[in-house]
Amino acid sequence: MEKMIIGDHIVKSFGEGDEQRNVLDGVSVYINEGEFVAVMGPSGSGKSTLMFALSGTDGVDGGKVVFDGKDLSTLGESELADLRRSKMGFVFQQPTMLKNLNILDNIILPSMRDNRKNAAKISLKAKELMKRVGIAELEKRNITQVSGGQLQRAGICRALMNSPRIIFGDEPTGALNSKSAQGIMDIFSEINTDGTAVMLVTHDAQVAARTQRIMFMRDGKMVSELKLPKFVGTDMDGRAQKVMVRMQEIGI
């Protein structure tokens, strides 16, 4: 598999003087084209910071991040923004949406900012995505009229609008019940099957077990990795057990 993203001895520090600490302490990672990966670890281990570094959302203090052969540290802010908008999608635990817009308009808003001439085409794509994730009937509702799971599905639609090569998810099921979380993971699996890489940051062994490679972090370092075969819908308990056993072995 070809490596899409390479993190080479990444260092990211917060604080100053005696209070300074390395949230990322020389982390080296990679994400392949079309891969489905998860990052696990206790709170404060550096999981989300790693995601923000690999996506170019935050700069690094040492090492480098390479996307498609380009060192992100050599790109200006506008170039980084263009890269994220055109090649990456983001799904967070709590989707940030505007209360004065309906679900459809929230989905298309980021795509409309630079492409108003293609408004009809953008709207059609959003409606197709909403149908794909099972919320086609909600396009006129506002964000207070849908469930958390439905809102997260809308967030996934928004992340997919520009046909990204990778989706980054930061605890995307963290605020959902188990049934809704399973539905969201089904969508991520379908997205990945279609060829889009997916990287999820999660505390949930059941979520991580749906992926094919799990990276474990502790104290700003990558401490272990677990590879699993592609999930086929019948081996969830065994997969989750393997994840939990590895977590116990490395003390997280």
- pLDDT for res 116: 67
Full set of structural domains in the chain with CATH? 3-250 (3.40.50.300)
74 and 82 in contact (C-beta within 8 Å)? no
3-state secondary structure of 235: coil
Region of 236 on the Ramachandran plot (φ > 0 left; ψ -120 to 50 alpha; else beta): alpha
12 and 58 in contact (C-beta within 8 Å)? yes
Identity of the residue numbered 175: A
| Predicted confidence band of residue 78 (pLDDT cuts 50, 70, 90) | very high
pLDDT over threshold 80, residue 92: yes
pLDDT tens track for 189-236 = 999 999 999 999 999 999 999 999 999 999 999 999 999 999 988 788
pLDDT tens track for 13-38 = 988 777 788 899 999 999 999 999 99
54 and 60 in contact (C-beta within 8 Å)? no
pLDDT tens track for 167-192 = 999 999 988 888 999 999 999 999 99
Give the separation between CA 45 and CA 55, rounded to whole angstroms: 18
